[in-house]
Structures are given as structure tokens and as C-alpha cells.
Amino acid sequence: MDVYAPQTWLPHERPMLPGSPSTPHHPASRRIAYLVVGFIVALTGGLGNALVTVNLPYLQGSLGVYAAEIAWLPAAYVMANVSMNLLLVKFRQQYGLRLFTELFLLLYVIATVAHLFVHGLASAIAVRAAHGMSGAALTVLGLYYVLQAFSKEHRLRGVVIGVGFAQLALPLARLFSSELLEIGEWRGLYLFELGMALLALGCVLLLPLPPGDRVRAFEKLDFATFALFAPGIALLCAVLALGRIVWWLEAPWLGWCLAGAIVLVTGALLIEHHRKAPLLNTRWLSTASMLRLAASVLLIRIVQTEASATVGLLQSLGMSNDQMQVLWIVTLAGSVAGIAASALTISPARIQPSLMFALVLMAIGAFMDSRATSLVRPEQMLVSQFLLAFGGTFFLGPTFISGFGAVIAAPRNLISFSLMFTIAQNLGGLLGSALVNSVQVVREKYHSSQLVDHLTLLDPQVAARVQGSAAALGGAVGDPALRSAQGVAALGASATREANILAWNDVFLAIGIVAVATIAWMLMHHLWNICTACKPAPPPDAQAGLSNVALNNSGSS
């Protein structure tokens, strides 16, 4: 039997694209089961990396490595995740969903088990890379499972929910990762990650997806493109992840990595540009609509990094994760509310207004946070973080659908769209984090210099502050000179704290400005489309007259 032979499908069963499952009718209980499995699979695809990302300082201590070394863990995940999306679509199309599912889940399980017995940075990086590869597969797999739970007329809502499930990984990781560290230190994180992978594997084996069409998809030049594109993206991820730590202009290897990334990615795009059946349709990706979509996702992802900036602000004030539990509960509630609201209101006609609405909410949240002081606590940031979490999940579904409509019209562009969306999402997150932390460092140096310039012992207020701090140590330190030095050090620490707060406020303000600028750009484009659509067409007589004039002109020439 030829597995690549076209199959006969009922109209409602026909798979949307080769490599995707068919959509037969299911009883209500089976639909609920598909929805639950989709949630587990999608969450597994992102939760492991989220657990590592929010606990990098603790993992750094347990592994005994420097900050520049531990930063390779999230970088390795993004490197593998982005690169594998280049081949995964064709893998599904040629070898089917079942092999696709089992292979990458088993890879994830094996790598996690191995890391439990090999304690070191190299094994941790290998696990992150394996998770990046399997995460790219699980995100799509979770979406397919969720779509089985919805009938045809509600499938757009299913897309929004399926894409949104993976976004719950980060707030969930912040909510309970401290307990996992208390149970088993770093092994507690990896044991939970292993448990989620085994649970997802058991679920997909017990409830497989319906079969779909398979086609012969791979070509030899696909692997040549991958051999250039994957290391090029890896070098770019390394620059974005470590540039702010080793600093952009002080580590020569960053420049060499960036140059190598440009050469390798350009070589891959040149190969694709001149292929008859390209893996990446460069002409389609360079159209105005796709460039606008990529820019929109990239800018919104940069705005979303305000949430991580809030964590940085609270940590600079001495807050630990245990003191922010209420904040993470509110953030999780905002994310769930954003997914629900997006699913209920999704419509092709509302996509552009939905994106602008999400950005308005995120801009309001950023501007609210830009007035922080040393007295701010998580309770004062509940409203702003709810708005940011709501907007962050509200925008994702409409953005995905706005580009996927073009893919359904031209299925051969599925890989191009998948890669573009993944790059904009993942690299946008890395770029946003790099920009936010770099701006914070620069502004902290500026504010620190401004504050220190006014701190002189000739100022009576400064002298009184130093004396007060020294007097507080009178019962513990007997040497007056040492007490005075401790008082000066305490004043310096206070100045550094205030400089950091002012720098984070500048970051929040800059993020708010980026959000407003993005809204203005989207609004101008939306109004232009409305004006173009409303422009009246010339009457038939005028069209005929124009045609005759054109013919006469061509004849006379």
C-alpha cells in the first residue's frame, strides 16, 4: 500500500494541509479529551524552558558557573527551536504525525533523564537544545489536539486557544517553581519537567490524532539550506543572549559571531531564492503584508518584555519570588482572560483593531509602572501587570490567524510562515530582553553619576544621613572610623538602589513609547486600507473612455 497515495475524505474530514490531521466528527467526551491533551502537550512544550528561565540565578549557583555561562541555557533553547521549525513541517508531511510525535517526545525524555545523572553545564545545555527541538514540535502538536475539540464553525476560536495555551507556561513557572527548588533543588525542576514529558507521551499514545495526508516532501537542497541557516541563527541567538552580559563593544567574539550569522543566513536565503521549489519562499516573505506582520510580532514581543523588567525592578528592591506570589496569580489570571476574550471576539474583520487594543492595554500598563519608587511593592503593580498579561495573550491569536489565512490560500508557504512567525516570536523575546537590560544598565550609570555628584559631606543633609547610619551601628561596631565608613557605604548603596529604580522607570517609559508608536503605525495603515476600500470606482462610461484613450495613444505611438 502506498502511504503517499491520496486518500478519500468526506468534505468535513479533509485535512487543512498535508501533514495536518483530518477532522472527523467526535462525540462530546472525546472532544473534551482532545482539549485536555492539547493543554498538557502545549504546556509541556514551553514549561521546561520557562522553569529554567525564571530560575537562572538559582541554577547558576547549583551548577557553579558564571552569569555569562548560565545564559547559554535559554540561548540553546531558542537556537534549536527556531532552526527545527525549518524541517519539522516537511517531517510531518512525509513521515506522518505519529512518528513525529513519538520521536520528539522520546528525545525530550531521554535528554532529561540523562541530565539527572550528569550534573554539569554541558548536559544542561544539551537538555535545553533537546527541549528546543521537541518544544517546536509540541507547540504545533498541542494546537492540532485543541483543534480536534472544536467544530468547523468554531475552529478560529480553537486556533486562538491552542496558540494561547503555550503562553501560560511562564506565569505558571513563576507561581510554583520555588516549591520545586525547595523539594529537590535543581533536580526538582528537571524531575517535574521529566514528569510532564512522560505525561504528554502517555496522553498522545492513548489518544492519537486522526490520520492525515502524507506527501514526499524532502529534497536534497533542503538539508543544504538547513546546514547554513541553523548555525547562522545559533550565532545570532548567542549574540542577543550574551551581548548584554559580556557587553556589546567589549567582547570581540560577538562581532565575529554576528558577521558569521549574516554570511550563513544570507547564503541560505540565496539558495532558497533561486530554487524552483524553495523551502523558504523569499519572494512571499518579502511582500509588504508579511513584512508588516513580522514587524508587528517583533515590536509586540519587545513590548511584552515589560513583564521581565518588572521582575528586575522588584528584585533590585530586595523582593524574592515568594513575595510576588499574588502578582503571579494576577498575571496568570490576566493571561487566561486574554485568551478567553480573544477567542470570544476573534473575527477576520477585527484582527487589526484587536492588535491595537492589545497594544493600548500594554502601553497603559507600561506607563503605570514608569512611576515606581523605592516604596513600591508587588501589590501596587497588580493592575498594570494584569493589563500587560491580558494584552500579551490577546494579541497572539489574531496575529497568527492574520498570516495563516495566506498560507491556506498557498499551502507551499506553510514552512515560510511557520519560520517567520517563530523567528519573530523567539528572537523578538531575546531582542527585547537584550534591549531592556542594556537600556537599564546605561540609564543606571547615568542616574548614578547624577546622584553621586550631589553627595558630598559638605552638605549638612548628607553628613546627617551618614552620621545617622553610623550611629545605628554603635552597638555592633566600636571603632568610630569604621562606623563612619559603614555609614558612607550605606549611603552609597541607597544611591545605587535609587539609580536602579530611576533606570527601570526609564525602561518602562521607553516600552510605553514603543507601544504607542506601534499603535500609531498600525492605525495609519488601517485607516489607509479603509480609505482605499471606500474609494469609489469610476463609472462604466468613464472606464470605457479611458480604455479608448489608452488604445488611441498606443495606436498613434
Tell me phi and psi for residue 493, to 5 degrees: -65, -40
- For residue 11 the three cell numbers come to 468534505
Single-letter residue type at 496: T
- For residue 371 the three cell numbers come to 512611576
pLDDT tens by residue, 52-109: 888 887 777 777 788 888 888 888 888 888 888 777 777 777 777 677 777 878 877 8
Kindly state the percentage of the chain with pLDDT values over 90.
2
Q: What is the pLDDT of residue 478?
A: 56
Nearest Cα to Cα of residue 225 among 271, 260, 257, 284: 271
Q: CA neighbours within 13 Å on the CB side: how many for 536?
A: 4
User: Among all chains, which residue has been given the C-alpha cell 548536559?
Assistant: 123
- For residue 470 the three cell numbers come to 553610623
CA distance 290 to 406: 9
pLDDT tens by residue, 426-473: 778 888 888 888 888 888 888 888 777 766 655 666 666 666 665 566
Nearest Cα to Cα of residue 418 among 514, 294, 507, 328: 294
- For residue 415 the three cell numbers come to 514552512
List the alpha helices (DSSP H) in 149-219.
155-165, 169-206
| Average pLDDT rounded to a whole number, residues 326-353 | 85
Angle at 546 between CA 543 and CA 550, to 5 degrees: 140
- Whether 79 and 154 have beta carbons less than 8 Å apart is answered as no
- Whether 215 and 4 have beta carbons less than 8 Å apart is answered as yes
CA distance 539 to 543: 6
CA distance 181 to 297: 34
210 DSSP 8-state letter: P
